[in-house]
Structure 1
């Protein structure tokens, strides 16, 4: 049953009437029915539901009693897909602490900003990122508060202090539904990321949306190949499986052959990936040898699905329901989902609005589009974030009358199916990793030899898009591509560094002086006189 309430000061928000009150409740739900069932299976360890509860309680108790972590304190994690991650998720939830999962691919400069901006009290990091942590202090000596506790997994037994079983039962903190659970930092249009605050009620509704549309249950087994620090890995898979009593298997690093091997070995029946992973899988001979008839559900999102890719999915997974999904960090995962049964001609659609979503397509100036007209998607619902962390400007610009302005351009047909046509803010999508052009341009323009730069996404058959930079330089003959890329890697994650370069005398502009990126996208390679592709 769905009812309407006021939430985060926004009117008429649709919510599920019968819902868990917080994320810890979904784990408690499984202890009676699935106590000894495998909840998490990583490459190094398996955790039953009982063990997930017990060890997360121990970590919570030690964070609370030894390090004084209280409700509202921020705990950062710099961890790949290891079993420590879900333990810390539920440890933070028990204390009402706010988990800040940091993208391990970020540069030390980017990590420094996130850790400083969120004012974390504890950092739990994989030992392989210890170098980045040491560099953070060099980049910004004020990046970390003075009393920040840092724990390294596998590093001089420091994580063992959090697993001290002498403290095994934390004092549970009363939680309100609107309390923050996570801060996930997203790429920012000004070159700095924004901290999206995901609440307990928001995450819970995303889990219920998935279960309601996909009809998932305790027989589900998923293989998490995307990072758990991304909203799809965290909400769409990890917490989704806990909610329905399923099992999450994980890979610390995606590899085609390994993914196929684990899918076959464990008979994974629920796949959820960016289309890039399915494309990469299809190139392997081992993939072509098998018919994965045990797979019952395949979901995909994060980048466009092409007809050829859809046909690969149909052929490889003959018994699976295929679900396109559209959402973002700001919607705590899905805003639309393709229903279990849909007409073949809807393949390009991202599906229908999830049960508790209210979506409008706006032309601008407050005018709503008619069916079939193109505009920006405005989204309202309990799963929409309550705010951006300590960012009044972003909050003012991103929310209108209770709706989050997605920045995505799309349309809706007469049957309520949505289609995403373009990205309003020049965002590049490389294999599901979101990159804003302006942040790359800002880094390029730090170089004295570069006078102007414009960055776009170049179509790529594997990753969907690659980063391409158009550069105007006063010292064209002296430009060194590897040196430019090395400069970029100082400030940017590797996946954001331009792979393609084109040198121009000037950038195309309109009468108002605005760079015409559409003109850059329309340029053909054989018309380019000074195009240089990195090796």
Structure 2
């Protein structure tokens, strides 16, 4: 049931029946499904009862080390069990965890920990190497606990023994967090300037998990393979916390590897997949993939990048029993804003679905007025899953949120007469060719239809006559060698002349951030130095 309410001063829709905080989601599942598998990583298999026991022990360890409500705990780990234990322990005692991207430079990591004012860092010996000098010599650096090793030095201590040891005493008294309390600070993967810390709360995460459960109709029988990073909202919210809510099973992969993913899907009988499109393309292109049947997979979800109609057709053929769900969201919306419903018309395949039940979305045209159905403009989003604020960014908060509570997404979209949302481009990536607006997704969808194209990305490059021209970067399918003329001719037959790529360049792979999003700024930089082919 959904009711109108107020959250952070905004009028929003709220799920009437919801857990009080994120830890309660785990506690409920531990009561309802104590013996069901909750978490699997390698040879470790934890039931819900065992997972809750370890989370409680971790919370006791943190509280004994003077971690209290509102403190910030940085987690610099891959998809490890210790990541899960630390995050859920923070959720229990009201501390905020700060998940850090393991592929960032030391300077970026130090900036984020300093900006967030972290009290503690949980990491491992490999990942801490680049930070050791800072941790040892800077008084403002957080104390550091390692998940591996037994030889602490003056500043680096072994967290693993504290985490699982029995020598520790009882938890310090604390009051359970309120749903509006902050749960984490997740730094956005911005392409310009310093990243911003998006402050996600318990109520944000709870509503996102409930939206996934409602739309995808998930329950305790679902098993999901987390191959995307837990330090992004898809892995953290769409899979891990989502499963804690419904009592499903989470199988962790340290990092995505095509052959290992295919093997784990079969071995663990994974029923719920949630990946960026590139991962599916790589799987379906792998020789071992077609040696098995995947009729046990019930849900195939994807997001984070445009999906071609050809890829969707392949997914339907490869996962014949699965419902396909395109999903759209952002760090600021705690994962889902829209999800493709289970029953959707074939002519909507290029849509990212309809708003989740508690979301309000609208498109604002260039003149600042609400757009008409089918008209393009910036997508504005409101709901209980939208973050309250950016950490220590008052100017960003004033410019990014409207007075009536909408977050300005920066994405160009249109909404059709049936309420389906279509993402056309990032606002900053729209190509302006002599006054004509070109949305890269439209061009990319055409290029994906070429039989020799595995992946495509379109950007605007400087042109002395038109200001900008369309350039396509192409990753060919294995064994194929298309020419630039071949690609341009194919596009010209299907697009208006001004939308047809003028330049084509071939790459072995497209540059991406760890969340799978194509870094178009990197492609534009490449275009400034590379000669067109």
TM-score by length of 2: 0.80
In 2, Cα distance between equivalents of 1:199 and 1:211: 19
In 2, Cα distance between equivalents of 1:503 and 1:380: 38
Against the structure 1 CA distance between its residues 460 and 426, is the aligned structure 2 distance closer, same or farther, given a 3 Å change threshold? farther
* Conserved 8 A contact 1:108-1:136: no
In 1, Cα distance between equivalents of 2:237 and 2:48: 17
Q: Report whether the alignment pairs 1:72 with 2:96.
A: no
Q: Report whether the alignment pairs 1:164 with 2:165.
A: yes
Q: Report whether the alignment pairs 1:273 with 2:261.
A: no
Segments of structure 1 that go 5 or more residues without pairing to the other structure are 430-436, 438-455, 463-487, 505-527
State the secondary structure of the residue aligned to 1:203.
helix
Aligned to 1:358: 360
Q: Report whether the alignment pairs 1:305 with 2:330.
A: no
The alpha-carbon deviation at position 135 of structure 1 amounts to: 5.3
In 2, Cα distance between equivalents of 1:494 and 1:201: 26
Against the structure 1 CA distance between its residues 278 and 236, is the aligned structure 2 distance closer, same or farther, given a 3 Å change threshold? same
Q: Report whether the alignment pairs 1:423 with 2:448.
A: no
In 2, Cα distance between equivalents of 1:25 and 1:364: 44
The alpha-carbon deviation at position 329 of structure 1 amounts to: 0.6
In 2, Cα distance between equivalents of 1:55 and 1:168: 13
In 1, Cα distance between equivalents of 2:15 and 2:364: 26
Aligned to 2:107: 109
* Conserved 8 A contact 1:57-1:170: no
In 2, Cα distance between equivalents of 1:287 and 1:201: 39
Q: Report whether the alignment pairs 1:149 with 2:151.
A: no
Aligned to 1:234: 236
* Conserved 8 A contact 1:98-1:180: yes
Aligned to 1:94: 92
* Conserved 8 A contact 1:109-1:136: no
The alpha-carbon deviation at position 61 of structure 1 amounts to: 1.0
State the secondary structure of the residue aligned to 2:273.
strand
State the secondary structure of the residue aligned to 1:285.
coil
* Conserved 8 A contact 1:101-1:184: yes
Aligned to 1:381: 383
Q: Report whether the alignment pairs 1:2 with 2:2.
A: yes
The alpha-carbon deviation at position 149 of structure 1 amounts to: 1.3
* Conserved 8 A contact 1:60-1:170: no
Q: Report whether the alignment pairs 1:501 with 2:504.
A: no
Against the structure 1 CA distance between its residues 220 and 172, is the aligned structure 2 distance closer, same or farther, given a 3 Å change threshold? farther
* Conserved 8 A contact 1:96-1:181: yes
Against the structure 1 CA distance between its residues 494 and 306, is the aligned structure 2 distance closer, same or farther, given a 3 Å change threshold? closer
State the secondary structure of the residue aligned to 1:154.
coil
State the secondary structure of the residue aligned to 1:425.
helix
Against the structure 1 CA distance between its residues 306 and 171, is the aligned structure 2 distance closer, same or farther, given a 3 Å change threshold? same
Against the structure 1 CA distance between its residues 262 and 235, is the aligned structure 2 distance closer, same or farther, given a 3 Å change threshold? same
Aligned to 2:465: none
Aligned to 2:415: 412
Against the structure 1 CA distance between its residues 155 and 531, is the aligned structure 2 distance closer, same or farther, given a 3 Å change threshold? farther
State the secondary structure of the residue aligned to 2:169.
coil
How many pairs does the alignment contain?
Answer: 451
In 2, Cα distance between equivalents of 1:297 and 1:351: 15
The alpha-carbon deviation at position 502 of structure 1 amounts to: 4.1
Against the structure 1 CA distance between its residues 234 and 426, is the aligned structure 2 distance closer, same or farther, given a 3 Å change threshold? same
In 1, Cα distance between equivalents of 2:227 and 2:216: 20
In 2, Cα distance between equivalents of 1:365 and 1:156: 62
Q: What RMSD over aligned residues (CA atoms) do the two structures have, in Å?
A: 2.7
In 2, Cα distance between equivalents of 1:503 and 1:335: 35
1:100-128 deviation line (CA, Å, top 9, x unaligned): 00000111111111010001001000221
State the secondary structure of the residue aligned to 2:184.
strand
Identify which range, 95-104 or 34-43, moves more after superposition.
Answer: 34-43
* Conserved 8 A contact 1:373-1:412: yes
In 1, Cα distance between equivalents of 2:195 and 2:175: 30
1:140-199 deviation line (CA, Å, top 9, x unaligned): x65x725x2101111336011233332354534232111000110003364200000111
Q: Report whether the alignment pairs 1:367 with 2:369.
A: yes
* Conserved 8 A contact 1:80-1:126: no
Q: Report whether the alignment pairs 1:49 with 2:48.
A: yes
State the secondary structure of the residue aligned to 1:183.
strand
Against the structure 1 CA distance between its residues 458 and 194, is the aligned structure 2 distance closer, same or farther, given a 3 Å change threshold? farther
In 1, Cα distance between equivalents of 2:517 and 2:320: 37
Alignment map for 1:503-522 (pairs within 5 Å): 503=528
In 1, Cα distance between equivalents of 2:422 and 2:130: 40
The alpha-carbon deviation at position 137 of structure 1 amounts to: 5.6
In 1, Cα distance between equivalents of 2:52 and 2:226: 20
1:47-94 deviation line (CA, Å, top 9, x unaligned): 2111211111111111112x2111000000000011111111111011
In 2, Cα distance between equivalents of 1:320 and 1:152: 40
State the secondary structure of the residue aligned to 1:501.
helix
